[in-house]
Amino acid sequence: MISIIIPTLNEEKIIEKTLTLLRGLTNFEYEVIVSDGKSKDKTIEISKKYANKVVIYEGKERQTISMGRNLGVSAASGDILLFIDADIVIPNINNFFKETLSYFKNNPECVALTVPLKVFPEMETFWDKIFYGLINKLTVLYNNILHTGGAAGEFQMIKKNAFDKVGGFNEKLAAGEDFEMFAKVAKIGKVRTLTKLFVYHTGRRPHKVGWKKVLYSWLMNSVYAIFFKKSWSKTWDEVR
């Protein structure tokens, strides 16, 4: 069974589209879990219409995205965990999961995989093509060639036993937790980028903040998370 876990915070603009399209998955057993960090808009209300489970953070301090993902896992029943963001769309969804699950089955040593990211064609800029193309090539380098592990949080598919073995996401990290996770699971098994597949997303952060600032923050947070076990950013501001 696949547990699809989506951390949310004030995602009313996009979450309904994402959850509706996930209903197109008909050939495999799955559950959708929305893990919400106390949204102030209609995210929770919308999610309850479509998701199998909605869990809501009850802590006093601001929830990190790692906390959100781990909270989602606490409600999960699947042996495969899929972490996606609220703005992710998986094209040809049944064939997509046929390919990913077949890879796990045919490569039992593989504990986690990811796929390239693309911005929706109607939203994609010239710089999106350049920089996401580079980022996708880097994940191939980290996972398929160097075997050190690396993947953006937009899409991470991880075996539950491997996730448990490495202790889940580091909840102390405000950012960079995604690359650190793949670096951890790469130490206990094979990680892979499946280059024939891809997922769409909005590219909203670089569109709003600017690629220069985003690239610098991604680089610093990834380095800090992997080598110093802490995030460079004090907080990871929401972009909606």
Please give the single-letter amino acid code of residue 21. L
Mind listing the pLDDT tens digit for each residue in 79-99? Answer: 999 999 999 999 999 999 999
pLDDT of residue 210: 92
Write the CA distances from 86 to 122, 125, 155, 203, 233, integer angstroms. Answer: 18, 21, 11, 12, 21
Per-position DSSP letters for 157-173, written without gaps between them: EEEHHHHHHTTSS-TT-
pTM over 0.95: no
Closest CA to 151 of 143, 163, 160: 143
pLDDT of residue 236: 66
Q: Domains in the chain and their CATH numbers?
A: 2-228 (3.90.550.10)
Sheet holding 190-193, edge to edge: 53-56, 30-36, 2-8, 80-84, 155-159, 110-114, 190-193
pLDDT of residue 56: 97
Closest CA to 79 of 120, 37, 108, 41: 108
Closest CA to 56 of 34, 87, 82: 34
Average pLDDT for runs of 10 along the chain of length 240 = 97 96 96 96 97 94 92 98 97 97 98 98 96 96 97 97 97 89 97 98 92 86 77 74
Residues in the chain: 240
pLDDT of residue 175: 84
**Hunting for tokens 């060639």 — which residue is that?**
145
Closest CA to 11 of 94, 84, 118, 97: 84
3-class SS letters over 100-135: HHHHHHHCCCEEEEECCEEECCCCCCHHHHHHHHHH
